[in-house]
Structure 1
Amino acid sequence: MLSDRHSAALVTRAGSVVWLCFPRFDSESVFASLLDDDAGHWAIGPTATATSTREYVEESMALRTTFHTADGTLELLDALDLGDSSDPHRLGENASHTLLRSVRCTEGRVTVETTYRPRPEYGLVVPVFSEIESGFVAAGGPGRLTLTMPMPAAAANGEIRGRFTLEAGQSRNFALQRTRLGDPLPGALTQGEIEAALDTTVAAWQHWSELHQTYDGPWQDLVRHSGRVLHSLIYQPTGAIVAAATTSLPEEIGGERNWDYRYSWVRDASFTMQALWVAACPDEAHEFFGFMTAAAAHSRPERHLQIMFGIGGEHDLSERILPQLSGWRGSAPVRVGNGAWAQPQLDVYGELLDAAFQLRHQLGDMEPATREFLAALADAAASHWEQPDNGIWEVRGEPRHFLYSKLMCWVALDRAVRMADQLHAAHRVDEWSATAATIRTAILDQGWNAQIGAFTQSFGSPELDAAALMVPIVGFLPASDPRVASTVDAIIHGLSDARGLVYRYKPESGVDGVTGSEGTFLLCTFWLAHVLADGGRLAEARAVFENAVSHVNDVGLLAEEIDSATGEQLGNFPQAFSHVGLVNAAWSIQQAERSD
């Protein structure tokens, strides 16, 4: 993944950009061959047979791919331009919506080919090219694309191809700029301008990492890298946090569990802010809660808090299918929008207040609107906790009395009580405390299933759900409590696959209202490691954690799930949830080892 904190691109090991949305994470794609071969890409690489290795430039989100051929070695450096990022606390504020690419021959002699095939609007548009000095302009759809192409090239059949040879020490720089229809059209960038922009972008990431990343514990490199990934998924103009950079990467190859994750879920974003507390000083705390306060401001009092918003604060995220795209490995349908936006999910109250509580020192003296918003969340949790909902996993079946939803309503009230002075709400403490006690009794009486020996998915249900691992994580019961230990063992034996990774629940139970199966869920596996560490089972915690992180790709990125049969990553990518789980589990193991 490349990110300028406005949008994201995905690059393959072969040096092809197969996913890029401009100018926002949720904009229509320019390249989407990730989801259909005919939906656009931009490849740069050797013409000869080559092997490749990849790495992020140290402490940055600039990607270096090294190609080794029989005749020479070629380095490809890719980044999304951060613009003038002299202020590390506002990283990406002046992003220019430009994809930067540079190739350099470091040994021998390499012949390079580039194929540029833009297909705006998810592959619907085949643009018209016009040649300019040192490049081309592509027109078609809501924007125009200016390509810097520093060599002779030919445009035909909706694509541009160029070929050139580099000797050791020689380089060529490329750029793709996006402008809105009607805006002044920029010219091609010079070679020096591209090189300077790459240097500035790498330096800005490194400066941010130096100032913000202080985690010093086990798996330090993975934790700090996850912090940069999570920071990359924040939409800088508003502080919104996307759940993932992609849409419709399937949870089952050939299945229909394909969703658009390029929006800001209250739950995912709250978890992300908490993980950044460990992996990177969260300068964004004020911006995030400001975004949530503004985005939710128009919710009608009788309605639940909306569980997700567009990254600009949009409410209507109506879901539709893109029939022109065949899907990753034929996994249709491809969706944009997400119908879950209209679901009632009671857990969001607790997740927001839990994040606010953890970040209370960063938030300091909050704006009156933020204080009122957080206090209103506690009131909503107290009012709605007895209602059924669609739960953390956004089931498309009938609403139920999910254990996790009740638990997070308790969290909302518990954290509001503990923050009452900061919220200027000391007069509400008795009422909030009384309702929290009532919810606690209900969970212990109806959420615990003595026959199963575990806290189960919903009140009165025999089904296991890995979300029950949050019972000790949020402090409802200690990890040493016999009921928690029994739940942990039940999940290990009842929801783990042969690889030792954890399913959310068993899809065949029919609770989610969607056909097909799915992979094991990385967040849930990290939850298990977290709880094992908290319960003093450190050797088991380390083993579970190491097993989970063994599935990172070659540049340390994680999707949502793992295919039990093949070990491949499944689902949208990279997934904030998975990197959140990694950060928090590592931190929990560190704390447990220090305590031990």
Structure 2
Amino acid sequence: MWFDGAMASRIEDYALLSDLHTGPLLSRDGSVDWLCFPRFDSPSVFGALLGSEDNGRWLLAPEDPAATVVRRSYVDRTFVLQTEWAAPGGRVLVTEFMPVGDRRASLVRRIEGLEGSVSVHQELTIRFGYGTVLPWVSRMPDSHGTEVLLAVAGPDALVLRGDQLPHALDHKHVGTFTVSAGERVDLELAWYPSHRPVPAGIDIDASLEETIRYWSDWACGYNQDGKYADAVERSLLVLRALTHEDTGGIVAAPTTSLPEEFGGARNWDYRYVWLRDAALTLEAMLTHGFANEALSWRNWLLRAVAGDPEDLQIMYGLGGERNLVEAELAHLPGYEGSGPVRIGNGAVGQYQADVVGEVLVALEKLRLAGGAEDHFSWPLQRALVGFTEKHLAAKDHGIWEMRGDLMHFTHSRVMMWAAFDCAVRAVRDHGLHGPVERWEELRAGLRAEILEHGFNKELNTFTQTYGGAQTDASLLVIPQVGFLAYDDEKMLGTVARMEQELLDDHGLLLRYRSESGVDGLEPGEHPFLACSFWLVEQYAHTGRRADAVALMDTLVGLSNELGLLSEEYAMDLGRMAGNFPQAFSHLALVRAADALHGTEKLSLASGAMPVVGLPLL
């Protein structure tokens, strides 16, 4: 049923579409509440997700309040969404997708009558510039004489084509039409630069077929069995959907300012490429045979970070843009009143010492998978190692982008160790050139330092910061990069301490205790899903298979019916929190499933559960 209210849907009630350039969110109620054209990081044309319908949306749903969604799913291994509605008078099927492969920025919505007759309501509210710009809208014939609805404001223009164009009413466009069994209504909303001619219509049947073929052919590169195979496949598809087709950049999420704490201020813009997240995504893709995507990201990296290593940033725009100034949009109240709404990200200027290590670990795995270095890639990696050496003594903001005091974060120091370790192996194992003796010396020195200052002997645990007493979920990365074995006594002690400090009442793992004040923000956030997936991996590699499976089942169960995961989950509220869908959550799911799958195969082969696992490739 259509709903004329001010509140956005619950996060888990949204579906993602993608054309590998941008990603709209469609609610279960039939409303497109978030869409940035033409890129993920462009200003929104539909911004109701962070405000109300007055900030832009496109609603298409049965008019009768008694109508219900019977089923909603993607067509097989695609991002073509189908929603079946049942109304008192009949049933309709709505198919929605973004054409892929034609470089056309458009959204297609098809309504087909399955049974009886259903009255369908349409409401189109276009607001460019994050809901601030009211366009000039007019009906006019296109160059072929077909009537279209045209909206223009500044550099942006939208054209709506279809069998049922809405009419103007109070700065929006509304309409109602009836669809009977066997009938079909098609609508296409296309963006284009306003200085260019209005784009012609498309053959929707052919475009739908091509889009289904694209996603299905891409997913055919994945072939794995096991309990979590479907969840892994959808996660890999999400990671692909968040990758820009042309640049190879991978956004952390297609949204901004979905709150980590409802009503709170932990609201950040994730529509950018974090080196860390993208590097981990590269690893997940490599593990499952998507080498072309990995090479595409490496090429993006080379372009983005080229130049003086001192100018290295932790994140960039989709094309490698560096200017990501953080600003607040005061006109938007935020999701469920969670303000401020932010665009840009102030963390772009932070020093996070772990990032170079994350990148070099990913590129090492690309080498192991057969990716050849060229005249640019290895010299750049050497420069990044030099950057790490130059900043060896510097404190940083840490993996969680702390906005408090700079510190020596143990995870950051371990990833610096990993940077030198990868550099050493590049020379020793792959025949590349570099000052390997110097790197070996630095690696050994960091190892000794970490064990001395990052491990609390009295508490038998690694700590979040040097000399501290608190743990941090990022410490689960220590065995993933080979610093210690998963079953090392120091790791087992650390996990035991985490279980005491960071597990919430529902068995999910917090990143750290926000009430400690270490992040410089007001306390309060929900469990970060990637951390709990890391714990699954740790359990799987240390003989705790029952614990690993139980936690994995819980986590996979937190996805919506479309297989999408958010950044965090509020178990006490039974709902998703944070930006959505979140690449970090999905890539961590892939790692956890691979760990369970790998240790299961080893167990079956040996007849016993192995205790020690190796870092995944």
Shorter-chain TM-score bucket reads over 0.9
Instruction: Kindly provide the amino acid, as one letter, of the partner of residue 509 in structure 2.
Output: V
1:76 to 79, 94, 102: 94
CA distance in structure 1 between the aligned counterparts of 2:86 and 2:374, rounded to whole angstroms: 55
1:154 to 167, 183, 188: 167
CA drift of 1:218 comes to 2.8
Q: Does 1:182 align with 2:198?
A: no
Counterpart residue number, 2:321: 314
1:494-513 equivalences under 5 Å are 494-513=501-520
Instruction: Kindly provide the amino acid, as one letter, of the partner of residue 173 in structure 2.
Output: I
1:502-581 equivalences under 5 Å are 502-581=509-588
CA distance in structure 1 between the aligned counterparts of 2:106 and 2:311, rounded to whole angstroms: 39
1:107 to 103, 108, 115: 115
Counterpart residue number, 2:608: none
CA drift of 1:379 comes to 2.2
CA drift of 1:385 comes to 2.8
Moved more, 362-371 or 7-16: 362-371
SS at match of 1:566: coil
CA distance in structure 1 between the aligned counterparts of 2:602 and 2:88, rounded to whole angstroms: 54
| CA offsets 1:259-314 (integer angstroms, 9 cap, x no match) | 0000000001001111112345131222211111111113x34x262111111111
After superposition, the CA RMSD in angstroms is 1.5
2:225 to 210, 213, 216: 216
User: Contact 2:285/2:294 (CA < 8 Å) preserved in 1?
Assistant: no
CA drift of 1:362 comes to 4.9
User: Contact 2:123/2:166 (CA < 8 Å) preserved in 1?
Assistant: no
Counterpart residue number, 1:471: 478
| CA offsets 1:172-192 (integer angstroms, 9 cap, x no match) | 1110111112111124x26xx
User: Contact 2:21/2:243 (CA < 8 Å) preserved in 1?
Assistant: yes
Aligned residue-pair number: 580
SS at match of 2:292: coil
User: Contact 1:111/1:166 (CA < 8 Å) preserved in 2?
Assistant: yes
User: Contact 1:251/1:257 (CA < 8 Å) preserved in 2?
Assistant: yes
CA drift of 1:431 comes to 1.3
Percent sequence identity is: 40
Counterpart residue number, 2:293: 284
What are the ranges of 5 or more consecutive residues in structure 1 without an aligned counterpart? Answer: 84-93
1:36 to 39, 51, 59: 51
User: Contact 1:213/1:279 (CA < 8 Å) preserved in 2?
Assistant: yes
CA distance in structure 2 between the aligned counterparts of 1:576 and 1:362, rounded to whole angstroms: 22
SS at match of 1:430: helix
User: Contact 2:68/2:87 (CA < 8 Å) preserved in 1?
Assistant: yes
Q: Are residues 110 and 422 of structure 1, via their aligned partners in 2, closer, same or farther at CA, if it must alter by over 3 Å? A: farther
CA drift of 1:198 comes to 1.5
Moved more, 2-11 or 450-459: 450-459
Counterpart residue number, 2:25: 10
Moved more, 141-150 or 584-593: 141-150
Counterpart residue number, 1:305: 312
CA distance in structure 1 between the aligned counterparts of 2:158 and 2:346, rounded to whole angstroms: 31
Counterpart residue number, 1:23: 38
Q: Are residues 422 and 337 of structure 1, via their aligned partners in 2, closer, same or farther at CA, if it must alter by over 3 Å? A: farther
1:350-499 equivalences under 5 Å are 350-362=357-369, 364-420=371-427, 425-499=432-506
CA distance in structure 1 between the aligned counterparts of 2:288 and 2:74, rounded to whole angstroms: 17
CA distance in structure 1 between the aligned counterparts of 2:239 and 2:165, rounded to whole angstroms: 39
SS at match of 2:479: helix
Q: Does 1:46 align with 2:23?
A: no
Instruction: Kindly provide the amino acid, as one letter, of the partner of residue 306 in structure 2.
Output: A
CA distance in structure 1 between the aligned counterparts of 2:420 and 2:181, rounded to whole angstroms: 64
Counterpart residue number, 2:263: 254
CA drift of 1:14 comes to 1.1
1:85-234 equivalences under 5 Å are 94-132=102-140, 133-151=146-164, 153-187=166-200, 189=201, 193-210=203-220, 212-234=221-243
CA distance in structure 2 between the aligned counterparts of 1:410 and 1:237, rounded to whole angstroms: 34
| CA offsets 1:89-127 (integer angstroms, 9 cap, x no match) | xxxxx4311111111111222111111111111000111
CA drift of 1:417 comes to 1.6
User: Contact 2:285/2:293 (CA < 8 Å) preserved in 1?
Assistant: no
CA distance in structure 1 between the aligned counterparts of 2:388 and 2:323, rounded to whole angstroms: 23
CA distance in structure 2 between the aligned counterparts of 1:208 and 1:220, rounded to whole angstroms: 16
CA distance in structure 2 between the aligned counterparts of 1:141 and 1:135, rounded to whole angstroms: 19
Q: Are residues 562 and 378 of structure 1, via their aligned partners in 2, closer, same or farther at CA, if it must alter by over 3 Å? A: same
| CA offsets 1:355-409 (integer angstroms, 9 cap, x no match) | 1111225562222111111122222223323210001000000110000100001
Instruction: Kindly provide the amino acid, as one letter, of the partner of residue 391 in structure 1.
Output: G
Instruction: Kindly provide the amino acid, as one letter, of the partner of residue 282 in structure 2.
Output: M
CA distance in structure 2 between the aligned counterparts of 1:125 and 1:203, rounded to whole angstroms: 37
Moved more, 576-585 or 377-386: 377-386
User: Contact 1:248/1:571 (CA < 8 Å) preserved in 2?
Assistant: yes
CA distance in structure 2 between the aligned counterparts of 1:282 and 1:554, rounded to whole angstroms: 29
CA drift of 1:453 comes to 2.1
Counterpart residue number, 2:252: 243
SS at match of 1:166: strand
CA drift of 1:163 comes to 1.3
User: Contact 1:255/1:516 (CA < 8 Å) preserved in 2?
Assistant: no
Q: Are residues 315 and 153 of structure 1, via their aligned partners in 2, closer, same or farther at CA, if it must alter by over 3 Å? A: closer
| CA offsets 1:45-69 (integer angstroms, 9 cap, x no match) | 1111222121111000111111112
Moved more, 578-587 or 542-551: 542-551
TM-score by length of 2: 0.92
CA distance in structure 1 between the aligned counterparts of 2:489 and 2:428, rounded to whole angstroms: 34
Counterpart residue number, 1:58: 76
CA distance in structure 1 between the aligned counterparts of 2:391 and 2:165, rounded to whole angstroms: 65
CA drift of 1:152 comes to 5.1
User: Contact 1:278/1:583 (CA < 8 Å) preserved in 2?
Assistant: no
Moved more, 223-232 or 452-461: 452-461
CA distance in structure 2 between the aligned counterparts of 1:296 and 1:338, rounded to whole angstroms: 18
User: Contact 2:151/2:157 (CA < 8 Å) preserved in 1?
Assistant: yes
Q: Are residues 322 and 458 of structure 1, via their aligned partners in 2, closer, same or farther at CA, if it must alter by over 3 Å? A: same
User: Contact 2:517/2:523 (CA < 8 Å) preserved in 1?
Assistant: no
Instruction: Kindly provide the amino acid, as one letter, of the partner of residue 195 in structure 1.
Output: D
CA drift of 1:128 comes to 1.5
CA distance in structure 1 between the aligned counterparts of 2:122 and 2:80, rounded to whole angstroms: 20
Counterpart residue number, 2:143: none
CA distance in structure 2 between the aligned counterparts of 1:363 and 1:139, rounded to whole angstroms: 49
What are the ranges of 5 or more consecutive residues in structure 2 without an aligned counterpart? Answer: 1-15, 141-145, 604-617
SS at match of 1:543: helix
